[in-house]
Amino acid sequence: MAEKAFNPFEMAQRQFDHVADKLGLDQGTRDFLRTPCREYHFLIPVRMDDGNVKVFRGFRVQHSDARGPAKGGIRFHPHETIDTVRALATWMTWKTAVVDIPLGGGKGGVICDPRELSDREQEKICRGWVRQVARNVGPIQDVPAPDVMTHGQHMLWMMDEYEAIHGGRLPGMITGKPVGMGGSLGRTEATGYGVVYTIREAAKEIGLDLKGATAAIQGAGNVAQYTLDLLQQLGTRTIAISCWDNTDKKPYTYRCKEGIDFKKLMASIDKFGTVSPAKAKANGWEQLEAGAWIEQEVDILVPAAQENEVNAGNADKIKATVKIIAEGANGPTTPEADEIIQKKGIFLIPDFLCNAGGVTCSYFEQVQCNMNYFWDRDEVLRRLDLKMTSAFKAVSALAREKKVYMRDAAYMISIQRVADACRLRGWV
């Protein structure tokens, strides 16, 4: 019998059900929170550069707006699925709740590969996506943002289309915009820096000195880049980083035992997080198989790529030296892998806490847009550090008090906050 394909939404629901049992949630609240409130499926026709029309499939899922407007990124990916978008929208609800910002959870996507599209074709997809949901998103309904293989320029095209449709200046309808066009200073590095703020706090708890510690990171996109950057500033050597190679159409791990330098990484990478093999070789980085990142003898592992990357098939390969796993990606660890990690006694920082720096700074961007007053970078990062540290300490304290896994503690706080909002509104 063929092995069942991984379904991230089923995993998200399993995680929810597990904690709903611990909280003793009533059946009505369970039924309401384990499934998205709304979904939009649509087609985006685009006249391509060769004159032919190609039709792309787009999605927007709004899981919950009980605590505020839905919030979540838009992914451009050739293997995007509605179940992935559902899972990510669900996790966004818990993410905004765990850091206690007044937003809900949403997610969007388009099945496409921007690496193979011209800028004009990507712009047409962005504008087409907005036209399909212009009545269903916006600053008081649902606020999109960048995600996998989307960036500030995509957000700006979307904002421009939305403003043209609604006839006004509405920069708060979307976040992750370029600085000077409604974007926030500090937003580019926010998710990666947020990951490191939680690593710093975890290291304090377990007595790990980050100065001289080592790390391996899966992924080489925005989150991975700025995680490596701040770890390097704190004295931690990242000895391995994995990424997709657009030439070979497969991922690799690059290793440098002296530590991968942030500036060299940025000089060797393109806007999609693809390391040039030639530049890596020139840097003296050793090229290994894709899965080698998880097998390194390091203190810290940071899965910062996609879902289902730490699973029953590779979790046993995690070395005894690993003390912290910080989930920079959304849903990188399966429940089966969680069991192995717990048995190994590794301190895990769950995804929707660990990578919440991005949505927290997006919230700051939205606030600044609505005020039409923008903070300097130091002020943004100070506020970000305060929010991330406060959220981490609350989750860690509950985990110790209830003697539960960090993921369960984070879920318990988030689900309870959203459930309380639903009850106060009279929905359940």
Q: Which of the residues are catalytic?
A: 107
Q: What is the CA radius of gyration of the chain?
A: 21
Task: Identify the CA nearest to 98 among candidates 306, 419, 391, 362.
Answer: 391
Alpha-carbon dihedral sign for residues 415, 196, 380, 157? negative
**CB-based contacts of 217: which residues, under 8 Å, 6+ apart?**
224, 227, 228, 238, 240, 241, 242, 293, 302, 304, 328
Buried b (16+ CB within 10 A) or exposed e, 335-357: eebbebbeebebbbbbbbbbbbb
* Structure-token pair, residue 282: 């020139």
Full strand arrangement of the beta sheet holding 53-64? 38-47, 53-64, 105-111, 70-77, 142-146
> What does the block give as tokens for 249?
């159409």
Alpha helices for 176-308 (secondary structure H): 187-206, 222-233, 262-267, 277-282
Please state the φ and ψ torsions of residue 12, each to the nearest 5 degrees: -60, -40
CA distance 329 to 254: 19
Render 313-360 in DSSP notation, one character per residue.
Answer: TTGGGS-TT--EEE--SSS-B-HHHHHHHHHHT-EEE-HHHHTTHHHH
- Token pair belonging to 401: 């008090």
Count other C-beta atoms under 10 Å from residue 56's C-beta: 19
Which residues make Cβ contacts (< 8 Å) with residue 152, sequence separation at least 6? 146, 176, 177, 178, 183
Closest CA to 213 of 142, 299, 90: 299
Q: How far is CA 391 from CA 162, 185, 413, 417, 421, in A?
A: 34, 22, 10, 13, 19
Q: Exposed e or buried b for every residue in 113-128, given b needs 16+ CB within 10 A?
A: ebeebeeebbbbbbbb
Please report, for the chain, how many H helices and E strands are present, in that order.
Answer: 14, 12
